[in-house]
Structure formats: C-alpha cells, structure tokens
C-alpha cells in the first residue's frame, strides 16, 4: 500500500484481526463457552472523529444497532444478537462504554446463547427479554443436541427468573425448561411458547399431576400469554388479569369447561382471546355464569368442537365492536349459538348486517379459503 501511514496500517491490521475473529467465532460450532476478547487498541482521537462522540451518543447508537436485529413480529434475534459482542471488540473505548451500559445486554437469543452467562452478568439488574428457537441455533444440530443446548441455555436463567420481562420459546418441550422457571416472576409481562415433536403434531393431554408449576404460579404483571401444543392448567393463578390469551391444541381430560369461563371472568380487561383445537372430555352442563368482556376486540374460535363453542358463546357478553371469528366445520350462527341464547345481545353488531359478501381467496397455508364480510350499509364500510 503506497503512501499508507503507520497509523493507517495499524488500523488495517486491527480490522483484519477483527474479521478473522468473527469468522473464527461463526465456525466454532455450538459450544456454549464464550471467548474473553479484551481489545487494548485505542484509536488516536485526533485522526478518528467517531472517538470524539460523548458516551451517551455512543450508547444511543449502540442501542440502535442492537434494536436493528429485532424481528418485527416480537421475536428477538432472528439474525443475531451478537452485534453487541462485535461492538465491544472494536476498540478499548467502545468496549468500556458497552460494558458500562447494562441495558444493552438484556436481549438474549439463540445466536447469543453461547454467551448467555456473559449477557446475564453484563445486564446487571435490568429486565431480560429471552428468545429461544432451536432452528435458529448457529450450525447444524440433531434433536438430542438441541435438547442439551436448550438445557445449557435455560439452566443459567434459574437465578434470574425475577428479572424476566418476556419469554419467547419455540419448538421446545416444557420438560426442558420448566424445572428452571418454577420460581416467582414478579416482572414478566409476556409469554409465547410452542412445542411440537418433529414431524408429529400431537395435542398434549392433561396430566394427572404436575411436578412443576410455571413461576410457582406467581406472575402478577403477566398480560400476554400464548401457548401452542403446551398444556397449562386452567386452575393456574397466572391466568388472571390478562389482556391477550391464546391456548391452542390441548386436550383437557379432567378440567371442566366451567373453569375456562372462570379464567375469562378473572380477565375483565381481556382484549384478544383465541382458542384453537381445545377439547374437554367432561360433560357440558347448562351455563350458569355470564362473563362481561367490555374491552374484547378480537375473539377467535378455530377448529373447535361445536359443543365447546356453544358453551363459550352462551357464557360471555362482548362490546358492539368486538370481532368474532369462527372456523368451524358445518356451523352457522344459528347452530353455533345455543337455541336459548339471543346472540344479538351477546354480539350486538350482528343485527346491523344488511349485506353479505362471500368470496374465495387462495391461501396455500389455510384450509378455509372462503371469506365472509358483513356491512351495515349498501356500500363498502366497516366489516362486521
């Protein structure tokens, strides 16, 4: 390189070393042992204008970099949350700023899993957002390897359950992590979890007893819960004061449908409620409780037995603006609602329908391709 100064050569050498370290890290496999990189190089502030930025500006920039790797659909880390580790390896001054800012280390996901202990230590007492999905792990892993890595990921969280703000767990059996998440979680606000065995989508059946209770039944700030192919007891104390509740693909052999209505009654501020493929083996008595859900906006019942739908619809009252979505085989409004229930009082907007539009739309991932929209006037308007 003609005309390159010693300072420029030094910078180039550092960049080459940095790229080499990144490639070495990416090819290191799935070991959950973090490397302790400690850069000692500090650029000349007279020749490196970015080094003149105040620390608070650098922190703001670093936060933007970290947030850039958030997926818009609530999942963290779909690309990588190692961005912060890379920032901390650029130079000594940047590392010092990063290490002195605990809020930068609160997002932990699959690609940062090898460094989970580092993130937990550096995040101090800040609340944590945890995302786990084995398909996002760096490098190929078989099923048994994924289980081992999941255990290595969740085990350190045992002593930090009180710091959890959100949990997003996908394609992982609860038996892997529930033993580490059985302590009170006073700060958690959101839980999304799913489990389905590879190639098999079998609904979990209500067990005769449960050895572990999620968060010991203590999650007073929990507002959003979505479980798919995961059993949750309808007697669980965490099923209260929720604003969003979704339970999918579970068979309840001992719990009664009335307990589900009690759950709804314990969530008066519920805004979104979804049940998909939920079965009860017990008998369905006549509904005795009427639950008022004045804030309910979206109400979904998909692939449900008709007797479950009829029982639920006979037990709740919604606001006129609630959106009811039913995906039921051979069901109509008249058959979905029990004959002794006036659905016009339960869903007050139904009588306003003056015109129905029915059309077909190609949806390769959905079984029902027919859409029905009702309007309260002769022209396009708000659908009901």
Spatial separation of the C-alpha atoms in residues 115 and 146, rounded to whole Å: 16
pLDDT of residue 381: 40
> Contact, 66 vs 81, CB < 8 A?
yes
Tell me which H or E stretch contains 8.
helix 6-26
- Each residue's pLDDT tens digit in the chain (384 positions)? 445 566 655 665 666 566 555 555 444 443 444 444 555 556 665 666 666 778 888 888 888 777 665 543 444 444 445 677 778 888 888 888 888 899 889 888 887 888 899 999 999 999 999 999 887 776 656 666 678 889 999 999 999 999 999 999 998 999 999 999 999 999 999 999 998 654 556 888 998 777 678 999 999 999 999 999 999 999 999 999 999 999 999 999 999 999 999 999 999 999 999 999 999 998 888 888 889 999 999 999 988 888 898 899 889 988 888 888 878 776 666 677 777 776 667 666 666 655 544 444 445 545 444 455 544 444 444 443
Residue 274 CA to chain centroid, in angstroms? 15
The tokens describing 199, both together, are 């190639």
Strands 370-375 and 355-360: antiparallel
> Contact, 98 vs 89, CB < 8 A?
no
Burial call 194-218: b when 16+ CB within 10 Å, e when fewer: bbbeeeeeeebebeeeeeeebbeeb
* DSSP labels, 14-35: HHHHHHHHHHHHHTS-S-----
Q: Please count the helices (runs of H) and the strands (runs of E) in the chain.
A: 11, 13
Q: Look at residue 93 and give its three-state secondary structure.
A: helix
Rg (CA), the chain: 26
Spatial separation of the C-alpha atoms in residues 193 and 133, rounded to whole Å: 10
List the end-to-end C-alpha distance of the chain, in Å, as a whole number.
70
Spatial separation of the C-alpha atoms in residues 153 and 135, rounded to whole Å: 14
pTM, whole model, 2 decimals?
Answer: 0.76
């Amino acid at each position: 390189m003609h005309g390159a100064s010693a300072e420029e050569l030094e910078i180039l050498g550092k960049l080459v070393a940095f790229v080499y370290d990144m490639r070495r890290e990416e090819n290191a496999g799935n070991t959950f042992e973090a490397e302790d990189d400690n850069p000692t190089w500090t650029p000349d502030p007279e020749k490196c204008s970015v080094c003149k930025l105040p620390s608070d500006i650098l922190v703001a920039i670093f936060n933007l970099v970290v947030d850039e790797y958030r997926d818009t659909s609530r999942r963290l880390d779909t690309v990588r949350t190692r961005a912060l580790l890379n920032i901390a390896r650029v130079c000594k001054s940047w590392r010092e700023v990063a290490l002195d800012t605990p809020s930068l280390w609160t997002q932990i996901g699959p690609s940062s899993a090898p460094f989970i202990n580092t993130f937990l230590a550096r995040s101090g007492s800040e609340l944590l957002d945890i995302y786990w999905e084995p398909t996002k792990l760096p490098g190929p892993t078989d099923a048994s390897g994924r289980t081992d890595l999941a255990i290595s990921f969740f085990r350190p969280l045992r002593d930090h359950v009180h710091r959890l703000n959100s949990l997003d767990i996908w394609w992982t059996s609860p038996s892997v992590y529930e033993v580490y998440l059985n302590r009170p979680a006073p700060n958690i606000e959101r839980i999304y979890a799913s489990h389905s065995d590879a190639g098999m989508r079998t609904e979990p059946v209500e067990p005769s007893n449960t050895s572990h209770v999620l968060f010991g039944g203590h999650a007073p700030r929990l507002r959003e819960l979505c479980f798919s192919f995961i059993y949750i007891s309808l007697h669980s104390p965490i099923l209260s004061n929720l604003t969003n509740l979704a339970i999918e693909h579970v068979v309840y052999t001992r719990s009664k449908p009335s307990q589900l209505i009690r759950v709804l009654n314990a969530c008066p501020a519920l805004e979104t409620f979804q049940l998909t493929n939920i079965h009860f083996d017990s008998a369905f008595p006549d509904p005795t409780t009427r639950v008022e859900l004045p804030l309910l906006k979206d109400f979904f019942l998909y692939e449900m037995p008709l007797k479950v739908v009829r029982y639920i619809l006979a037990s709740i009252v919604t606001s006129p603006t609630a959106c009811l979505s039913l995906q039921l085989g051979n069901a109509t409004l008249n058959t979905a609602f029990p004959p002794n229930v006036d659905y016009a009082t339960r869903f007050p907007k139904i009588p306003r329908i003056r015109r129905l539009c029915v059309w077909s739309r190609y949806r390769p991932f959905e079984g029902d391709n027919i859409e029905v929209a009702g309007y309260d006037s002769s022209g396009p308007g708000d659908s009901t």
